[in-house]
Structure 1
Amino acid sequence: MSESSDEQAAGQHFLVCGTEDCQENGQFYCNDCHRPLCEQCRDEHLKNPDTQTHEIVPYRYRKQQLPVEKCKQHPTWNVDIFCQECQISICLKCFKKEHQSHNFDVLEDLYAEKYALWQGEFSKIQKYFLPTTQGLKTDIEEDVTEIKKIMESIRTSMNAEAESLKKLVDEVTSEKKKHTHTMEKSLLKMLKSQETTYDDYIAYLGKMNDEFQEYLSLTNTKLFSETLRIKTIPETTRPVPPVFTKGKFSKDDISKLLGSVNVPNTKPEKRKIQPMEAVTTHMKSTEKQLEQSKEKFDMKQTLSLSSSVTKVKEYSVPGVDSVWHVSVDKSERLWVSGGGNLVQTDLQGKQLQKIKTSGGNGYHTATQDGDLIYTDQDEKVIYRITPDRKITEFIKTGDWTPVSVHSSRINGDILVGMMKDREAKVTRYSKAGIEKQNIQRDNQGQGLYSDPCYITENINGDICTMNRKKGAVVVVNKSGQHRFSYTGQRSGFFPRGICTDVLGHILVCYDSFIGGAVDLLDQDGGLLSVILSLQKGIKEPCGVCVDDENNLYVGQSDTNTVSVYKYLQ
């Protein structure tokens, strides 16, 4: 880039007035001329008899210009009239020649009206259909988690019941086996008694045999005088052996003993879908408020010129040598990271806590609940720090390395920029850490991101991500569709921080060949102002955020300094 072009780029600090040779800030817009105007040119525009009836509004409320379409009959004329009777779009020459007596509409007014209607429908998608559907999807994910917990609990109960039944079976079996031992002992005792009876009888027979032998040796008179009488053999009974009778049971019998799992005969409850009427009413109320705001709009409510940006405070943060990212929590305490340290200070700059981390650039964010969330690239884990300084593991990102993180001001969702090998993506989690959405490629299948080092979300749901290798800010809408990319106003764009404010402005912090700067963009990526630059006393800005009081915090990578600015008045 030549020296003159560098000076031109450095000098273009705002949206330039559309009046020829005027280089002032074009804060206003003429809907008739379709060009931006500065305050002085606006006043002259309204004084000029030829343009005094033109509609001039603040730039952000400008009317969309009718797309240029040439007449097929008269190629040098633009189509800008709609014939109501013929229902065709024509040029002024066609109108004067063939349709002069017909009723007509100015095509630009119709376009503006239709554009507003389409914007209204698109707004319904953004504000009702998409968030409602995402909410229902979240409900389903929560139901999945709940069902898994319930089924696991049922299986645990089944195992406990089965163990209880097994214990009872073992107990009854043990008792019955004990009874068999008693029966066996009784039967053996009876048999032993019978055995003794026959032992005694055998002994008796032996004795009788001895006596008979003795009689044979005596005189014959003894034999004739005595009568031999032998006792009969004692009678005994055979024992009746016990018989085992098998139990009569089946699988069904066991099933009946155990509990069962059944789905109650209850009609499923329909998921509650918020009626669009309620949202539409809210939208109409919001539109009415915007309209009222538009009517009351004056110069004091617009962005100040970059020259009016004032520094209101400056911190020297202990515990860091350089500042890479800044977050402000609900108690307005400052979180600053740099050199592998994450430091919290109070409003006076006193260090409250210091944590050693393996984060990179935009790796921490303050939540609506007053917590701080930060990523650990080495462990691939996202941690939460509560106000009482308790650190807990919040989300595990698996194979993906979490690089940047942002807590949504809209609904508390957590947006995480991640990398794996040569791929990158943005993942949306709910406040509870449930994965809701992955954004990785555009409609042509090309990767949207390279290394998402900083990330934020605008009030309209746009996700704004800084990518170092691409040298660009990539902006997608809430559904992940690419809207635009921003590469700065200076050569050598190197991303160093991004945030948004309550008015939907995008603040882009970056370095370049001619020094660092902070650009202020509108929601569509249009440059409104370069609010900070080398010429305004900031050398190497790095890390930006805006608190609830619209104060802009800007870190500096060459020192441990965080400066606070007022840029809205």
Structure 2
Amino acid sequence: MSEPSDEQAAMQHYLVCGTEDCQTNGQFYCNACHRPLCEQCRDEHVKNPDTKFHEIALYRHRKHQLPVEKCKLHPTRNVDIFCKECKIPLCSKCSTVEEHHGHRFDDLEEIYAEKYAHQQGEFSKIQKYFLPTSQGLKIDIEADATQIRKAMESIRTSMKTEAESLKHLVDEVTTENLEQTHSMEKSLLKMLKSQEITYDDYIAYLGKISDEFQHYLSLKNQNLLFSKTLKIKTIPETYKLIAPAFTSGKFSKDDISKLLGRVNVPNTEPEKRKIQPLEAKSTHMKPTEKQLEQSKEKSDVKQTLALSSSVTKVREYRVSGVDNARHVSVRKSGRLWVSDSNGYIVQIDSQGNQLQKIQTSGYRDQGYHSATHDGNLIFTDKYINVIYRITPDRKITEFIKTGDWTPLSVHSSRINGDILVGIIKDYQAKVTRYSKTGKEIQNVQRDIKEQGLYSNPHYITENINGDICISDYDKDAVVVVNKSGQFRFSYKGQGTEFIPFGICTDVLGHILVCDNASDTVHLLDQDGRFLSVILSSQQGIKCPRSVGVDGGNNLYVGQYLTNTIIVYKYLQ
């Protein structure tokens, strides 16, 4: 049976078995026949005498089929073997000619599979180690640059403070000196004034004595010259005051530098940046025992979980207080938040009982709220460009301001608690990463060709490897970048039209996204390869708009025509 076309695959519920008339999930793959097999057909395949020796593997571990290439000497035959002596690919008929007599041959498909796996491994190293590590080192350099700027700004502030302090002391001493000159001037002038009065008195005395002399010299009083003798007092002595002198300070530029301090350049050798070896798992901090235990539990879960052969409905909730279920935020099993097209957000428990209800300015088709690992809920207000936080005690506080950028979608990381926000401004769009305390730490806007990655990031999530997954309404695509912001892939559906809405990921790295065009939910692998249409009207859903996976690997689906949330099991 031939492989189904993209259009056919889009309308099928699973990646179907390649056996004639079998429509079951093809989770296995025959590397000899190059076709998917369901579990039953696989068992029959290994029992069949003609195919019992065929190699069968899980679909995701399949060998890729050798590309068809016609032999130049025998155009009716395909190139499928490799001459080890001549180091060239051949068709089976070429191996019989005299030129290759006695030569050894290898299966070209085996070589191709080996080379493909090797190159895939190298590509994986680039994506998972070399690029993230290099980007991480670049981020470290940017952090160092920020630290240097802060250190130099602190030095400049200290310099200004020291200078201001010295200026203050100079002004204080100068003021004291000036006051001293005024005091000295007043004292000296007072002394001179006293001397001036002394001479004024003496001059008055001289005037008086001069009059007496005139009286004695008169012809009428000449007899007085014989009876009285006049004496003139001596001129009083005074002292000439010496004006104070100013002795200028003796200092140099070096003296001022010593007073103000100077910048010291470290004389130690710079430390080399640590580069994690390829074998080591890249991390920014040493994991705690609890984190190691959680990591082991996740690893054990991933080893035991796999896609189920069928999707099973577990339960459903009718959420009172909302008209429809446009977006679902779920973190712990049984506790979820649901919002509708009127901006109401309602929290319910595992029994569907309403715990709280709030009114927001949230838009109808945006993933504008997200549950956090510590039990809070964060949600955006696109009209005042603010992200709010609701704590378990129902206290609402302002958490993050996005400036003149309008926040559309938000997601709280399950990996490290970072906050991812899809934002827009003046026909531009980007994803901003904030720390769990609200500090901006990363912006993702353009690819390596400086082309904009996003147009309308109305739903957002994060995968287990740190990939940022965006459901972009205007681009009609799921756009995925790695944790460093490097573009990885985009997914544009399987049919002629694809309109992505709600998006989430699971513990195995699958990406689940709602398609408004076909009213289905698509399942992709971690690298963006389409696996199946996991949910459609056959499973009882209508117009799915939002999806979320809880800690128990249950899939929650919200619909825009009803306020009912349906929960499914699709992993086993």
Short-chain TM bin: 0.7 to 0.9
Which whole-Å CA distance do the structure 1 matches of 2:148 and 2:349 have between them?
45
How far off is 1:143 after superposition?
A: 2.6
Query: Counterpart of 2:16 in 1: which secondary structure?
Result: coil
Structure 2 residue runs without a partner (length 5+) = 283-296
How far off is 1:34 after superposition?
A: 0.7
RMSD: 3.3
How far off is 1:436 after superposition?
A: 3.3
Contact 2:344 2:357 in 1 (8 A): no
The residue that corresponds to 1:379 in the other structure is 384
User: Once the two structures are superposed, what CA deviation does each residue of 1:360-395 show, in whole Å capped at 9, x if it has no partner?
Assistant: 511223344544443332233444555555656555
Residue in structure 2 matching 1:328, options 322, 327, 330: 330
1:361-372 correspondence runs (5 A): 361-372=366-377
Confirm or deny that 1:356 pairs with 2:360. Answer: yes
Structure 1 residue runs without a partner (length 5+) = 281-288
The residue that corresponds to 2:293 in the other structure is none
The residue that corresponds to 2:40 in the other structure is 40
TM-score using structure 1 length: 0.85
The residue that corresponds to 1:286 in the other structure is none
Which whole-Å CA distance do the structure 1 matches of 2:264 and 2:299 have between them?
57
Residue in structure 1 matching 2:423, options 418, 422, 436: 418
How far off is 1:414 after superposition?
A: 4.1
1:180-259 correspondence runs (5 A): 180-215=181-216, 216=218, 218-259=220-261
The residue that corresponds to 2:317 in the other structure is 314
How far off is 1:55 after superposition?
A: 0.8
Pair 1:292–1:219, CA change in 2 (3 A):
closer
Pair 1:493–1:59, CA change in 2 (3 A):
same
User: Once the two structures are superposed, what CA deviation does each residue of 1:163-200 show, in whole Å capped at 9, x if it has no partner?
Assistant: 22222222212222222123222212221221121122
Which whole-Å CA distance do the structure 1 matches of 2:514 and 2:119 have between them?
33
How far off is 1:52 after superposition?
A: 0.8
The residue that corresponds to 1:404 in the other structure is 409
1:156-195 correspondence runs (5 A): 156-195=157-196
Which whole-Å CA distance do the structure 2 matches of 1:230 and 1:290 have between them?
124
Residue in structure 2 matching 1:552, options 531, 534, 555: 555
Contact 1:83 1:102 in 2 (8 A): yes
How far off is 1:95 after superposition?
A: 1.2
Between 1:40-49 and 1:526-535, the stretch displaced more is 526-535
Contact 1:543 1:555 in 2 (8 A): yes
Letter in 1 for 2:307: L
Contact 1:80 1:108 in 2 (8 A): yes
How far off is 1:138 after superposition?
A: 2.8
How far off is 1:466 after superposition?
A: 2.0
Pair 1:302–1:155, CA change in 2 (3 A):
closer
Query: Counterpart of 2:269 in 1: which secondary structure?
Result: coil
The residue that corresponds to 2:136 in the other structure is 135
Which whole-Å CA distance do the structure 2 matches of 1:463 and 1:206 have between them?
112
Q: How many residues align?
A: 546
Letter in 2 for 1:221: N
Query: Counterpart of 2:561 in 1: which secondary structure?
Result: coil
Confirm or deny that 1:337 pairs with 2:339. Answer: yes
User: Once the two structures are superposed, what CA deviation does each residue of 1:384-413 show, in whole Å capped at 9, x if it has no partner?
Assistant: 555555656555545543322334444555
The residue that corresponds to 2:82 in the other structure is 82
Letter in 2 for 1:38: C
Query: Counterpart of 1:163 in 2: which secondary structure?
Result: helix
How far off is 1:249 after superposition?
A: 3.0
Letter in 1 for 2:561: D
Confirm or deny that 1:61 pairs with 2:61. Answer: yes
Which whole-Å CA distance do the structure 1 matches of 2:374 and 2:280 have between them?
27
Letter in 2 for 1:187: L
The residue that corresponds to 1:495 in the other structure is 500
The residue that corresponds to 1:454 in the other structure is 459
Which whole-Å CA distance do the structure 2 matches of 1:227 and 1:460 have between them?
129
Which whole-Å CA distance do the structure 2 matches of 1:427 and 1:70 have between them?
51
Pair 1:20–1:379, CA change in 2 (3 A):
same
The residue that corresponds to 1:52 in the other structure is 52
1:111-150 correspondence runs (5 A): 111-150=112-151
Which whole-Å CA distance do the structure 2 matches of 1:235 and 1:462 have between them?
103
Q: Quote the sequence identity (%).
A: 66
Pair 1:104–1:457, CA change in 2 (3 A):
farther
Which whole-Å CA distance do the structure 2 matches of 1:390 and 1:129 have between them?
44
